[in-house]
């Protein structure tokens, strides 16, 4: 009989663990914390808050490698979004988030709520969202299901961004087989706020009231935090997943305006959005940060459905909700603003001094747990990384076995029309680019960075998102370095000084040694580049378990970066403009074909060493570019990245609809010269009489330069290898997605 009872208890415990996605160690930690067995509601709270998605229990220790401080950083990781001082009493806030799993199963709503969530992060800081960038990864475009995913994701992003009137000013879209079953949908949002109006999510003042504002609570997304923390083990159509929340951008627009008015009038003490894990996340995190407790009366929570349970109320991810903390005497004024904008609101609780998250329903206590244990108490998972057996093998590349193109004209046209290098206008044309209040968008998708100009100021801010999963697959450390270096290079090509990073780490299952090693190495690479280039990481997101059928995506860290331009009139674009301008390469082109788009398109190879990065050279090249832009001597600037030198020249020609003649001595294989993806290279054009000044600046910063040729004519000519009309280049670049 005793053995039966033991087996029964063990079976019951296993059922509890499986239903709540907890390990036995985690469960015992909960029992130890509470000094008793948790009830079903409390288990739900821990299930959500101790999920990978909310707790970062597998990655938090690694993230400590990141540099997070600088004299201009106001708030770093730990708040809803990072914030930096941009002068004139203003702050810029930024955050990038992922919505990968939801977008795999319901692409329209998954993508739409991805934007909704990151916009709420910005709003929760008291800032007005002013710009959005997207970083998207999909599988093989020739697959009809991938075409469906792309169209629905883009429609969902546009639907939400357009209807909250926040312009999309940049982004990137890639198609690789690695993402066939696991698309990546990362959205970055930027906001502006007066420094004195910044709001933080800390409930500190005892007896202040807790106000829930926005949409009524339903069962939308109950369990989504746990869903986002596991692998997709079935085909997309068959995945058993929680109801994907659906966003309402029309309501969100009203919430934005109402919350900003409340902030401007100084009516609240703290604010938090309800995103992943809903009410339990927002309330426990605010209490934890404020070293306080919160008591909620769930009977008062406005509900969509009558029979929704306490557990479901706390875990619901119904969109368009905000939690406000305020003094009782401010309720009337807050109510007037919310009524004015047609926002429903209810006082559902109060801040206490006991450190507990206490939930009541119909006068009964249904859960009572320490807020800090929910928000900060998840036991870390200490994994060991190991280089995979195939790592050294995939780095091998015998160029002697790679035949060079017989016709470089056709090779260039083929690369220009490939899915990853062609123009993405057909993807971005549906996005709103209307100026946001208080800003003017002065550079849109298609250039190296998106730029907004601040109202009443000469300053502008430039933004970009960058990442290359193939590089990280071949060497995650180097790939992490490149992601930071290239993002900074994109900003430098506009004349912007890079100031801050927000990162999104998209990886597979960290329980697998080779996956954890990839994550560890990529974080080290990002950290090294960020430290040496003096660019702090101020916010970010980790998205793990991006796997299906036991196959992980390429490790894909995405770097969002912001930089300041002191005088917007000096902004540089990528287009060649003036006949007889000289075209100069700042940097050095090397024989580096490993991991290139050229190898994939023409030889179906994803192998070799990725291009290497000398960060001292990288800084020198960027310093030269920024200094020249500041002095006004450049007509254009554009970085070399995917596709290499010839693709970059083609983009400059097609943007300006003018040709170039290049005379260059070949020191490497022709295909490596034209299509190798050497880092730390920027192509600039300038009047011939300014060349001596460029040489002096390059000498000062010890950056190599090389005159490539001269702007002019209606063709791109590169020695005796390439001679194509600009019309041919334009047609090749734009043939794919314009008709999609």
Distance between terminal CA atoms of the chain? 68
With residues binned 3-state (H G I as helix, E B as strand, rest as coil), the percentages for the chain, rounded to 5, are: 40, 25, 35
Euclidean distance between CA atoms 221 and 241, whole angstroms: 9
Residues with Cβ within 8 Å of 401's Cβ and at least 6 positions away in sequence, in order, are: none
Query: 329: closest CA among 211, 201, 209?
Result: 209
Catalytic residue among 53, 101, 109, 241: 53
- DSSP result, 564-576: EES-GGG---SS-
Query: 82: closest CA among 499, 367, 547, 368?
Result: 499
Active site residue 99: yes
Euclidean distance between CA atoms 97 and 404, whole angstroms: 41
Query: 597: closest CA among 559, 651, 561, 645?
Result: 645
Query: 229: closest CA among 58, 45, 475, 25?
Result: 58
Euclidean distance between CA atoms 280 and 287, whole angstroms: 11
Euclidean distance between CA atoms 491 and 637, whole angstroms: 11
Burial of 286 (0-12, 13-18, 19+ CB in 10 A): buried
How many residues does this entry show for the chain? Answer: 740
Quote the tokens at residue 256: 């934005």
Quote the tokens at residue 618: 């990288």
Quote the tokens at residue 593: 């074909």
Question: Which DSSP letter does residue 440 get?
Answer: E
Euclidean distance between CA atoms 108 and 47, whole angstroms: 27
Q: How far is CA 658 from the centre of its chain?
A: 34
E strand spans, 514-575: 537-543, 547-548, 551-552, 556-565
Q: Phi/psi of residue 735, each to 5°?
A: -80, -20
Q: How far is CA 379 from the centre of its chain?
A: 26
Euclidean distance between CA atoms 666 and 282, whole angstroms: 60
Q: Phi/psi of residue 659, each to 5°?
A: -90, -175
Euclidean distance between CA atoms 576 and 731, whole angstroms: 18
CA distances from 90 to 39, 126, 128, 426, 454 (A): 47, 12, 12, 35, 10
Query: 594: closest CA among 485, 673, 676, 668?
Result: 676
Catalytic residue among 65, 99, 241, 603: 99
Euclidean distance between CA atoms 235 and 628, whole angstroms: 52
Q: 652-677: string of b/e by CB count within 10 Å (b at 16+)? A: bbbbbebbbbbebeeebebbbbbbbb
Residues annotated as catalytic (active site), given as ranges:
53, 99
């Amino acid at each position: 009989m005793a053995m039966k009872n033991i087996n029964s208890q063990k079976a019951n415990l296993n059922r509890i663990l499986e239903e709540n996605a907890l390990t036995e160690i985690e469960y015992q930690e909960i029992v130890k914390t509470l000094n008793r067995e948790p009830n079903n509601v409390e288990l739900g709270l821990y299930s959500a808050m101790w999920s990978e998605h909310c707790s970062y229990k597998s990655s938090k220790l690694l993230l400590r490698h990141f540099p997070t401080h600088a004299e201009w950083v106001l708030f770093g990781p730990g708040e809803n979004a990072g914030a930096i001082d941009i002068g004139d009493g203003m702050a810029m806030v930024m955050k990038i988030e992922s919505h990968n799993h939801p977008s795999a199963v319901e692409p329209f709503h998954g993508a739409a709520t991805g934007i909704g969530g990151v916009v709420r992060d910005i709003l929760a800081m008291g800032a007005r969202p002013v710009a959005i960038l997207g970083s998207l990864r999909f599988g093989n475009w020739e697959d009809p299901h991938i075409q469906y995913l792309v169209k629905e994701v883009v429609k969902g992003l546009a639907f939400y961004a357009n209807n909250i009137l926040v312009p999309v000013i940049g982004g990137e879209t890639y198609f690789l087989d690695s993402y066939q079953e696991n698309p990546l949908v990362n959205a970055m949002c930027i906001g502006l706020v007066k420094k004195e109006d910044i709001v933080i999510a800390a409930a500190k003042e005892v007896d202040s009231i807790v106000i829930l504002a926005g949409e009524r609570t339903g069962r939308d997304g109950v369990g989504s935090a746990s869903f986002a923390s596991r692998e997709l083990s079935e085909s997309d159509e068959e995945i058993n997943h929680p109801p994907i929340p659906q966003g309402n951008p029309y309501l969100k627009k009203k919430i934005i305006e109402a919350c900003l008015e409340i902030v401007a009038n100084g009516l609240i003490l703290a604010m938090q959005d309800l995103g992943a894990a809903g009410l339990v996340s927002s309330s426990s995190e605010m209490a934890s940060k404020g070293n306080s407790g919160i008591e909620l009366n769930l009977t008062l929570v406005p509900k969509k459905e009558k029979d929704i349970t306490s557990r479901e109320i706390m875990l619901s991810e119904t969109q368009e909700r905000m939690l406000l903390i305020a003094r009782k005497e401010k309720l009337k004024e807050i109510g007037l603003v919310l009524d004015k904008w047609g926002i429903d609101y209810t006082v559902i609780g109060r801040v206490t001094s006991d450190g507990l998250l206490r939930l009541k329903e119909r006068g009964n206590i249904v859960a009572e747990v320490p807020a800090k244990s929910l928000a900060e108490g998840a036991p870390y998972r200490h994994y060991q990384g190991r280089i995979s057996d195939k790592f050294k093998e995939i780095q091998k590349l015998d160029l002697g076995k790679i035949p060079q193109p017989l016709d470089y004209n056709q090779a260039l046209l083929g690369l220009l029309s490939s899915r990853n290098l062609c123009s993405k206008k057909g993807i971005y044309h549906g996005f709103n680019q209307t100026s946001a209040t208080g800003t003017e968008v002065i550079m849109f998708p298609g250039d190296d960075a998106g730029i907004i100009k601040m109202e009443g100021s000469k300053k502008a801010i430039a933004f970009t998102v960058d990442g290359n999963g193939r590089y990280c697959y071949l060497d995650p450390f180097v790939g992490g370095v490149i992601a930071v270096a290239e993002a900074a290079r994109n900003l430098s090509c506009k004349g912007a000084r890079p100031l801050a990073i927000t990162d999104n780490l998209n990886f597979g299952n960290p329980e697998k040694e080779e996956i954890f090693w990839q994550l560890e190495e990529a974080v080290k690479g990002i950290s090294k580049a960020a430290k040496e280039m003096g660019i702090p990481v101020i916010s970010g997101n980790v998205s793990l378990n991006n796997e299906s059928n036991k196959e992980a995506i390429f490790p894909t860290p995405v770097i969002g970066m912001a930089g300041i331009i002191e005088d917007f009139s000096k902004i540089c674009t990528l287009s060649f403009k003036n006949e007889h301008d000289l075209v100069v390469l700042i940097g050095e082109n090397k024989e580096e074909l490993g991991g290139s788009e050229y190898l994939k398109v023409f030889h179906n190879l994803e192998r070799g060493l990725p291009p290497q990065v000398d960060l001292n050279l990288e800084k020198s090249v960027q310093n030269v570019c920024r200094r020249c832009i500041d002095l006004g001597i450049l007509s254009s600037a554009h970085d070399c990245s995917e596709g290499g030198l010839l693709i970059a020249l083609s983009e400059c020609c097609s943007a300006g609809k003018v040709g170039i003649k290049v005379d260059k001595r070949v020191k490497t294989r022709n295909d490596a010269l034209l299509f190798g993806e050497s880092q730390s290279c920027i192509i600039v054009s300038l009047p011939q009489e300014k060349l001596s000044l460029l040489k002096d600046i390059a000498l000062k910063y010890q950056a190599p330069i090389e005159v490539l040729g001269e702007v002019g004519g209606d063709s791109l000519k590169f020695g005796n290898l390439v001679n194509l009309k600009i019309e041919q280049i334009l047609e090749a670049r734009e043939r794919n997605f314009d008709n999609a």
